[in-house]
Every structure is written in structure tokens, then in C-alpha cells.
Chains A and B, each alone.
Chain A
Amino acid sequence: MIMPTETNQLTFSKVPINEGMKSALQKDRGEIIAMVSQSGLKGRGGAGFPTGIKWNLAAAAQDDQKFVVCNADEGEPGTYKDRVILTDYANLVFEGMTIGGYAIGARKGILYLRAEYTYLRSFLEDLLERRRRTGFLGQNVMGKRGFDFDIEIRMGAGAYVCGEETALIESLEGQRGEPRNRPPFPVNTGFMGHPTIVNNVETFAWVTCILVKGADWFRKIGTEKSTGLKLFSVSGDCSFSGVFEFPMGITVAELLERVGGIGAKAVQVGGASGHCVPASEFDRTIAFEDVPTGGSIIVFGPDRDMLAVAKNFMEFFIDESCGQCTPCREGNERLLEGILMLEQGRCSMRYLRELCALGETMQAASKCGLGQSSPNAFLSIVAHFKDEILGRAPVAD
């Protein structure tokens, strides 16, 4: 039986609304950014870039227009914590965006909400309207003279790649969601060419908590390189699925114990673009310096077919590749063909090695994170489950 966890156990539920903003607006911009830097907070969207550094770059950029973008495109397979945050704790996110606006000198925030979450839109619009009416958005926010800030919701249109920050900006500008070359980075040349910070939903919510509870509180949790708490979206073969809050640096084994995933043969950490951790490596830690994640945890029980898992992920990437660059567009197709050969028991070890080499080329040569990480699952499944995937009896379709 699957028991959802209670989200009222999360830190977010214990942080009083608008306290973070109150504390922020009493500080000057530099102090806020220093505090975020001191906390060690790294982006919760997956890539783990230090939030303080990002904000500092955008604050230092000279421009009379800057933007704060909240990335609510949440499309990584197995991830749903941003939906839960937006449903239960959206005010913390809006506060975090407003604090970001104050810190970098932006007057406008945009929440980019994935089309699949359209059902959240009117609820979020209502919350924003309430914040405007009560002076937490609009002109002279909370009575702070000269600080104007408002937030607009923009809808995605069904493309996973638009979660990549430069593709997201393209999409906001009315273009195809094709990732740009970086540099230049959005902190210099973002939305409409202006300095822009793009952060994950959860990142903004943690900023608010840090302003309330202090940088040291956050820094003391987790590991040296991966500080603080993190939300995990857990699904798959476990007794308790749902959103969990754990300190960074938790081992896969500890996590499995908490979610009732005893006996699992592998755990996919970080979604389709993440890594498949086999049982022999369950002592590894979930942290940016070891196995990184944006929060997706998928547990595979002893009877799961790992080749079917690899196939499902590869079909996902073929569907979602923007097709702009060759390694990703062609490479994913070749890897899927290889998986189909394995499925039919018709793949030689030599060809499998060639496919792995191709996967490594894709990691190095693709233009954006999608193609750079799409071979990960295939490569880790091949590395750890050769016995399971080679020499199969052919299956009928």
C-alpha cells in the first residue's frame, strides 16, 4: 500500500508568511546577497549553481531593467515537489521572488508555469492579487519607498526542454524553446536582453526561510559542499511515496529506509537525466559532490526490468529533444535502437561498447543539459546490469 506523506511536516509549514520579506526589506541589497551566499544555498532545480553567486552577478550588472524568473516548468520524470510547494506554500515562493527583486534591483518577476499545471493558475493568480491588495506587491512594497515589484504568471506550452533556463527565456520571448549557447548567461543577457535571475521554485522558498531562520541555520545542515535541506519527490516501489524533506548528504540507503523501499535493486536519483544507483552503491550520498538531484527519487524493486526503464527514459528524450544539435537528435535515436536490439537479444558486446562510447560523446558534445545527460541512465544501467540486459530471449511485440 502506498501512503502519501504529510506535507505539514516540512520546514516550509513552520515559516510564518511575510516574515522573510520583512526581514529582507530591513537590510540593504548587499547584506541579503551576502546572507544567501553564506548559507551555501545551491540551486534546487538540479544543476546546483550557488544562488548567492548568481544573484551577485545580476546585482552587479548595469541596466535599468532586470528580471526575476521562477522556473516552475517541473518536467523531470519523477519530480513533483514544485507542484506541492506551489499548492501549499506559494507565498514563500512569491516572497523569495520579491526578495530576489529587491536584492538585484528588478521590478518585475515572472513565474513560468508548465502547461500541465494550468489547473493551479487561477489559485495562484488569486494569491498574487491578494498580495497586491495587501501591499506585498506593487508600488512601494511593504511601504518601502522606491521598491516596486510585481509578478506575472506565464504559461508554458508543453516542452520539457523549456525548463532549461535559456530555452525558457526563448519561450518567454515568443520563440521556439531552443536552448542558447552559454555564455552569455542570463544574469547578463536574459529576458529581452536584460539581466535576469532564473531560479527553481524550491530555491526561492528556501531563500525566504533563510531570511527568517538565518544563514547559519541552513549552513549547519547537510554537507560542506551541499548545505541545507532539500525536498524529494519519491515514487516507485516503496511503501511511503510523496514529498519528503531530508538534509543534503543523506545516503541512498538511509533514504530508502525512510520511504520503505527495503529490498530495492536500484534507485534512479535525479529523474531520467539523473543516475541509476544500484544496490551495491546504496551507501553513496545524495549531494552535489556525489549523486546530484533536483529531487526526483524513483525506487525500483527486485522484479523491475531495468532495460524497460532505460527504454522508457530514452523514448522520453527522443520525444523532448529540441533537435537543434546532432549529438542529441541522432544519438538518442541510436541508443534507443540499441535498447531494442538488447530487448530482442541481438546486441553484441562489441556493439554495446560502441553505444556506450556514443553516449559519452553525447555527454561531451551536446549543446545543452538535455543531450549532455540523456545517456546517463542508459550508461549506468549498462554498467551495473549487464547480466540482466545481455543475451535475452526475444520478446514478441
Chain B
Amino acid sequence: MLVSEREQLRENIEQWVAQYGSDRSALIPVLQEVQRKYHHISEYVMQVVADTLNIHPVEVYGVVSFYSFIGLRPKGRFIIRLCRTISCAMQGNNRIARQLENDLGIHFGETTPDGNFTLEWANCLGMCDRGPAMLVNDRIFTQVTPESVHEILDECRKAFGAHTFQGEETCPL
């Protein structure tokens, strides 16, 4: 990472800490902001966050590794989370899973080489009467069909194309 990028990152973090307060309870909101903008929490980020909140980096690591929506590994711009819980399973989520893998060319837990898509499982998304359900970043899709998988992915690609290199925080979904 370039020095200037690091400085930018540090500045952002300091700004978020100022916004959420500098005590420990600000930790998760700050990490959520970093995750939203940079798609993962790097070691460098953990160090800076720890310094700014005056806690040990191991404490930050403990939190990052606990929550499934905050993570160490770099993820794609679009994180697709398909519900694997029972009501969606009864409504054919396995076919959606297969079609997602086919259309993206990756397995669950992987990210496409272009860094656009990460495919993951999620537990019940609270749309059980309208499964199969999946989240694409913050947006919910319900009654997904094998055919509509392609349209949803295409919509993401188009949305992203329009914003290429404009700063990831404008991620439209």
C-alpha cells in the first residue's frame, strides 16, 4: 500500500472514531465503516484502530474474527449471501446455489478473480415465506429463481461499471 493511501486510511479511521466516540463501544461501528469502504479489515487497519481507541490489536483481532459481516480476508465489491436455512432449503435454494456457482465460475467461500463478487452462505435472512432469499451487499432479493440469478448478477455488473474507480464507498447496492 502506498504511503499516501495509508495516510488516507488513517485519516478516515480517525474521522470515524471522532464520529462514534473514542471509547471501546465505538469499535464495531468503526470496523463496520472500514468494512463497507475497503471490503476487509487489514492488519494495518487493526493496528490503527487499536492505537486510536487505545486498546491492544489482539482485542481488535478478537472482534474482527468473531463476526461474519466483518472479516480479515479481502472480499469482492458485491458480497452475495444465499440463505441456507431450512425454509429456503425447502424452497429450492440448492438450485440457486448451483446456478450462482455456474454463472460466477466460483465456489462458495470464493471471490471472483476480478474482485467483483464473493459468494457466501448465510443463515436465515428473515424472508422465510418468500425464499429462496439472498442478500447482495445490503440489498435483499426474494423468491430468487435459477433464471433470475443471471439478471441479478448483470444488474450488479452494470451498476459497478458505471462507478468504476470512483471510490468504493459509492458501491450502489
Contact = CB atoms under 8 A, between A and B. Distances in A.
B128 A77 contact: yes
Interface string A154-195: 111111100000000001111111000000000000001000
A234 B87 CA distance: 10
B171 interface: no
Given A78-B86, A320-B123, A176 B63 contact: yes
A124 to B, nearest CB: 13
Contacts of A115: 69
A174 B24 contact: yes
Contact of B90 (A233, A236, A313): A236
A2 B25 contact: no
A115 B35 CA distance: 12
Contacts of B130: 2, 4
Contact of A80 (B86, B128, B138): B128
Interface string A1-24: 010100000000000000000000
Interface string B121-133: 0111111111100
Interface residues of B, number: 36
A316 B128 CA distance: 15
A78 B87 contact: yes
Nearest to A81: B126
Contact of B27 (A174, A234, A236): A174
B37 to A, nearest CB: 15
Contacts of B86: 77-78, 236, 268, 272, 298, 309, 312-313
B124 A172 contact: no
B38 to A, nearest CB: 15
Report whether over half of chain A's contact residues are helix, strand or loop; otherwise say mixed: mixed
Contacts of A257: none
A154 B30 CA distance: 12
B25 A174 contact: yes
Contact of B67 (A116, A177, A235, A319): A177
Interface string B59-81: 00011001111100000000000
A76 interface: yes
A157 B67 contact: yes
B28 A235 contact: no
Interface residues of A, number: 52
A241 B129 CA distance: 6
A295 B63 CA distance: 30
B85 A316 contact: yes
Contact of A159 (B29, B67, B127): B67
A235 B32 contact: no
A4 to B, nearest CB: 6
Nearest to A377: B86
B125 A116 contact: yes
Contacts of A114: 126
Contact of B32 (A157, A176, A316): A157
A48 B123 CA distance: 24
B26 interface: yes
A343 interface: no
Nearest to A175: B63
B34 interface: no
B115 to A, nearest CB: 21
Contact of B126 (A80, A174, A241): A80
B89 interface: yes
Interface in A275-319: 298, 304, 308-309, 312-313, 315-316, 319
Given A119-B140, A242-B129, A298-B86, A77 B124 contact: yes
A118 interface: yes
A173 B130 CA distance: 34
B3 to A, nearest CB: 29
A116 B126 contact: yes
Contacts of A91: none
B139 interface: yes
B96 interface: no
B118 to A, nearest CB: 14
Nearest to A80: B126
Nearest to A117: B126
Nearest to B35: A157
Q: Which 5 A-B pairs have the closest CB atoms?
A: A174-B27, A158-B69, A157-B67, A158-B68, A241-B129
Given A83-B126, A160-B123, 12 more contacts: A2-B130, A78-B124, A116-B122, A117-B126, A118-B138, A158-B67, A174-B63, A192-B25, A298-B86, A309-B86, A315-B84, A319-B123
